[in-house]
Chains A and B, each alone.
Chain A
Amino acid sequence: MLNALLQLLPQVFLEGLLLGFVYAMIALGYTMVYGVLELINFAHSEIFMIGAVTGVEAFRYLAPVIPNALLLLLIALLLGAAVSGAVAVWVERLAYRPLRKRGTTNRLVPLITAIGVSFVLQDLVRLIEAIWHNEFFLRMTSLPALEQSFALPGVFVQLKSIILVVVSILMLLGLSYLVNYTKLGTAIRAVAQDMNTAALMGINPDQIISRTFLIGGALAGVAGVLFAVQYTTISPYVGFLPGIKAFTAAVLGGIGNIPGAMVGGLVLGQLETLAGTYMPTLTNGNFGTEYKDVIAFLILILLLLFRPQGLLGQVVKEKV
C-alpha cells in the first residue's frame, strides 16, 4: 500500500503547488490590506471571484475572435486584473473610506461592513449573470491549446498548469520588487507602520490605501482567471472557500508579512492536497476528501494555539 501511496506523490505535489500558488496570490491581498488598515477584508474573496468570472466571460466572447490561445489568456489575465483591481478600489472608496473618515474606534464596524460588501458582491454578480446569460453556474470555455499535456515520469502536467505556476511566480517576484524597491512600496510600508507619521512625511494615506487595494485586487483578479482556467467551473459563490483558506494561509505565514503570505499559501496548498488524497486511503474510506476543508481549519486553530504570530511573523506588542 505504501508503494501505491508513494507513486501518487509527485502528482499530489503538483496539485498542491497549483492550489498553493492560487492561495498565495489571494493571501497577499489579505495581508497587504491587513498590514495597512488592520482590517480583515472579507470582500477580498469576492474580488477573486470577480476575476474568475471576468476570465470566463473574456474566454466566452473573445475565443472565437482571437485564435491564439496564449494571446487570449494574456488578454483575459489583463482584463481580470483590471476589473478586480477597479472593483477593489471602488469597494474601498464607497464602503471603507467613509468609516475611516468618521473615525470610529470600534473594530467591529469595518469588519461587519466588509462582510456586507462580500454578500453584496456575490449576489450582484449572480444578478448580472442571471440577467445576462440566464444562469450563474458558469463553465470556462476550454481551449485545446491550453489543455495539451506532457507525461513526465510519474506526473501528468498540462500546459495551463505550467502557465499558472510561471505567471504566479512572476507576479510574486514583481510584487516583492514593488514593495521593497520602489517609491510606492516604501510609501505602503510607511503607511502600514504608522499612518499618521507617514502623513506628516508628505505621504497621502488615502491614495496609498487606494493603491494597496488596487494591487491586492489585481493580484486576486489574476489568480481568479488562472483558477477559472485550471478548475473550469465557476459560480458567484466560488470565492468563499479559497478566500477563507487564503486568509488562513496569511495567518499561517504571519499576517501583515508579505513573504509569509506566499509561504503560508504554498504550505496550506500542499497540506490540503495531501490530506485530500491520502485521507480516504489512510482511514479505509471512512473519512473522504470532503474533510480537506476541515483539515485547513484545524491547522488554523492549532496554529493559533501554539504559534499565533505565524510561521514568519514576529510578536507585535499592542500599541496603546
Chain B
Amino acid sequence: MNKNLANGLVLGATAVSLLLLLLAPNFLSGLVAIAAVGIVAYLRASVTVRSLSLALLTLGFTLGLARGSGGDLLFIGLLAVLVSLITIPGIPGWIKGLLGAAILLLSVPIAGFTNSFLFELGIQIGIYAAMALGLNVVVGMAGLLDLGYAAFFAIGAYTWAIFGSPQANQFTAGGFPLNGNFFYLFMILAIITTAITGVLIGLPALRLRGDYLAIVTLGLGEVVRVLANNLDHPVNLTNGPQGITPVERPPIDWFRSLMSFFGVHLDAKTDYQLFFYLLVLVVIGIVVAVNVNLGNSRFGRAWVAIREDETAAKAMGIPMLGTKLLAFATGAAFSGAMGVIFAAQRTFVSPESFTLLASITILGMVVLGGMGSIPGVILGAAALTILNIDLLKSFSEYLNTLRQSGATVLGFNLANLPNQFEPAKYERLVFGIVLILMMIFRPEGLIPERRHQLEAEEVKEKS
C-alpha cells in the first residue's frame, strides 16, 4: 500500500477514535479505538506517524478511563497499545520506553483510582505474568513440560500464610502473626524452599525421558493440593479446605509518605492496591532481567540446546541433569516468590487456588504468547487473565440479565436456558480450545521467539 495513503488512514482512524473517546467514552468508542490500534499495528505507515498515533490513543484511553466509564474495554485498549509498541518494528527505543512507562505508571493507576476492579485486574495480570515468565524458563527455554507449576505457587503462598497469620499459633508457642516486615524475608525463604522442592522432585524425574517429568509434576501438583486440603490434622498446619485468613500485609507507611511526597494522596482503599501493583511491576522487571540474562548465559544456551536436540546436546558435553535441574529450580523459585505476594495481596489462601486448572492456565499463557518469548508470555498472561476474570464473567452476567428479561435469540427464549449453563464456569473449554488451535495452527505462539519464528518460516518454505 502507498505509504501516504497508509499515513492518512492511520491518522484518520486515530483522530476519529480520539474524538469518540473524548466525547463519549463507552463500549462502542472503546471498540472503535481498539480497531484503530489494530490499524496502526497492521498498516505500514511511517514510524513517526505510528508512534504519534499510539501516543494519542494512549491519551484517549487514559482520559476515557479517568472519566470512569466504558472501563474494561478501554483497559484492554491500553494493553493493545503496549503490545503494538513491542511488536511494531522500527519504533525507537526511547519512544517505547517513555510511552510504556507512561501507560504502566500513569494510565493504569489513573484507571485504578476511578475503578478499583481495574487495579485488581492489573495486579492479577502482573502476578500471572511473573509466574508465566518463570514457567517460561522451564518450558520455553529448556523444553521441560511442568504440569504442576501451581504446586510451587502453593508452597510459596502457604509459607507466608502460615507464619504471617495466627495459624502458626496452632502448632507452635504463640507470637504469631509475624510482623508484616517479615514479608520480604519470607519471599527469600519461599524462593529457597521452592527451589529445593524443585530439585527434590526433579532429581528422579529429570533423569528420564521428558514425558515422565510431565506426569510426575502432575502428580506433585495433586499431592500438594491433597496435603493443603488435609493437613488440618493431626497438626493443624494448613487449616484444610477453609484456608487461612487474615494474612498479614507488609506495612506501607513509608510508601504512603513517599507517594504524598509526589503529591499523590492515597485513601485506605487504594493504597495497598497501588503498592502491590508497583511491587508486581518491580518483580516483573526483575524476572524479565533474570530471564534475559539467563537466556544469554552459558546455561541459557545449554537449555536451548537441550530443548532442540537432547542427544546432540549430550554429545557436546552439556551436563544433562545439572542443567535441567537448574532450569526447573529457577522456575519453581519464581513461582514460590509470587505465591508470597499472592497470599499477602489477597490476605487469604485456600487449596482451591492451586488446582491442576491453575497449572494449565499458566502453561496456556506461555503457549499462547509463544514459548521462550518474553513479550509473548506477558501478552499471553494478560489475555488469559482478562478472559478468565473479566470477559467470561461479564458474558455470564450479560446472559443472566438477558435470561431474566426473557429475551429471545433466533426464536429461542433465553429464559428456557438451563441455569447450569454459565459461561464463567467453562474456562477449561476455552483454554482447551486455545491450546489445541495454537498447537495446530501457530505452535510458535502469538509473538514468537526469534529462533522459533525462523523455524516456522523454514517449515513453510519446505512444504
Asked if residues A107 and B210 are in contact (CB atoms below 8 Å), the reply is: yes
Given contacts A109-B443, A112-B439, A290-B229, contact A301 B429 (CB under 8 A): no
**B432 adjacent to A117 (CB under 8 Å):** yes
Query: With A113-B439, A293-B222, A304-B212 given, is the CB distance from A120 to B432 under 8 Å?
Result: yes
Contact assessment for B205 and A301 in the assembled complex, using a CB-CB cutoff below 8 Å: yes
A297→B212 contact, CB < 8 A: no
The distance from the CB of A163 to the nearest CB of chain B, in whole angstroms, is: 31
In the complex, which residues of chain A have a beta carbon less than 8 angstroms from the beta carbon of B428? 119-120, 122-123
Please tell me which one of the listed residues A102, A122, A251, A301 contacts residue B459 in the complex, with CB atoms under 8 A apart.
A102
What secondary structure prevails in chain A residues at the interface with B? helix
Q: CA A320 – CA B315 in complex, angstroms?
A: 11
Pick from A70-78, A124-132, A189-197 the stretch touching chain B.
Answer: A124-132
Q: How far is the CA of A107 from the CA of B145 in the complex (A)?
A: 10
**Is A120 a contact partner of B436 (Cβ separation < 8 A)?**
yes
Give Cα A296 to B234, complex, Å. 21
Q: State which residues 384-411 of B face A: CB under 8 Å.
A: none
Bound: A95/B439 CA distance, A: 9
Given that A130-B420, A240-B356 are known contacts, is A95 also in contact with B211, CB under 8 Å in the complex? no
A108–B445 CA distance with the chains assembled, in angstroms: 13
A99's partner among B204, B226, B360, B440 (CB-CB below 8 A) is B440
Please list 14 pairs of residues, one from A and one from B, whose beta carbons are closer than 8 Å in the complex, sorted by A's number. Answer: A116-B434, A119-B431, A120-B432, A123-B428, A124-B429, A126-B425, A134-B419, A135-B420, A244-B219, A248-B215, A286-B234, A288-B230, A300-B216, A318-B209
Q: Which of B203-236 contact A (CB under 8 A)?
A: 204-205, 207-212, 214-216, 218-220, 222-223, 226-227, 229-230, 233-234
Interface of B is mostly: helix
Give A219 Cβ to nearest chain B Cβ, in Å. 20
* Closest 5 pairs (CB-CB, A-B): A116-B435, A119-B432, A120-B432, A123-B429, A297-B219
| A123 x B215 contact (CB < 8 A) | no
Residues of B within 8 A of A (CB): 139, 143, 145, 147, 201, 204-205, 207-212, 214-216, 218-220, 222-223, 226-227, 229-230, 233-234, 311, 356, 360, 363, 367, 371, 418-421, 425-426, 428-429, 431-436, 439-440, 443, 459, 463
Tell me the A237-254 residues at the B interface (CB within 8 Å).
Answer: 240-241, 244, 247-248, 251
Is the beta-carbon distance between B215 and A251 smaller than 8 angstroms?
A: yes
Contact of A294 with B226 in the complex, beta carbons under 8 Å: yes
State the CA gap A50–B218 with chains docked (Å): 22
> Which chain A residues border B421 with CB–CB below 8 Å?
127, 130-131
Bound state CA distance, A318 and B439, in angstroms?
26
* B311, closest chain A residue (CB): A320
In the complex, what residues of B have CB within 8 A of residue A118's CB?
Answer: 432
A104 at the interface (CB under 8 A from B): yes
* Extra A-B contacts (15), CB below 8 Å, given A115-B360, A130-B421, A308-B212: A95-B440, A102-B459, A112-B367, A116-B431, A116-B434, A119-B435, A122-B432, A247-B215, A248-B215, A248-B219, A290-B226, A293-B226, A300-B216, A300-B219, A304-B208
CB-CB under 8 A from A148, the residues of chain B are none
The CA-CA distance from A122 to B435 in the complex, in Å, is 14
A221 to B207, CA, bound (A): 34
Q: Are A112 and B435 interface neighbours, CB within 8 A?
A: yes
* Chain B residues, Cβ within 8 Å of A108: 139, 143, 145, 210, 371
- Asked if A177 lies at the interface with its beta carbon under 8 angstroms from chain B, I say no
Q: Is A156 an interface residue (CB 8 A)?
A: no
A1 at the interface (CB under 8 A from B): no
Contacts of B432 in A (CB 8 A): 115-123
Alpha-carbon gap, A95 to B443, bound state (A): 13
| Residue among B371, B429, B433, B435 making CB contact with A127, cutoff 8 Å | B429
- The answer to whether B214 and A111 touch across the interface, beta carbons within 8 angstroms, is yes
Complex interface bits, A259-296 against B, C-beta within 8 A gives 1, otherwise 0? 00000000000000000000000000011101101101
**Closest Cβ neighbor of A283 among chain B residues:** B234
Evaluate contact between B429 and A119: CB separation under 8 angstroms: yes
Bound form: Cα–Cα A134–B420 in Å:
6
Query: Given A113-B440, A123-B429, A251-B215, do A297 and B222 touch, yes or no (CB 8 Å)?
Result: yes
Within 8 Å CB of A112, what residues of B?
145, 363, 367, 435, 439
Q: Indicate if the CB atoms of A111 and B145 lie closer than 8 Å.
A: yes
Closest to B371 in A: A108
Nearest CB of A to B6, in Å: 34
A68, CB-defined interface residue at 8 Å? no
Q: How far is the CA of A241 from the CA of B221 in the complex (A)?
A: 12
A136 to B439, CA, bound (A): 29
A38 contacts across to B, CB distance below 8 A = 211
Question: Once the chains bind, are A304 and B439 in contact (CB under 8 Å)?
Answer: no
C-alpha spacing A293/B463, complex, angstroms? 47
Q: Which residue of A lies closest to B315 (CB)?
A: A320
A300 and B205 CA atoms in complex are apart in Å by: 10
Given known A104-B443, A107-B211, contact A95–B226 (CB-CB < 8 A): no
Bound-complex Cα distance A40 to B205 (A): 15
Q: Mark A212-247, 1 if CB is under 8 A from B, else 0.
A: 000000000000000000000000000011001001
The yes or no answer to A106 lying at the interface (CB within 8 A) is: yes
**How far, in whole Å, are A122 and B433 apart by their CA atoms in the complex?**
12
Most central of B218, B311, B421 by chain A CB within 10 Å: B218
List chain A residues, Cβ under 8 A from B218: 244
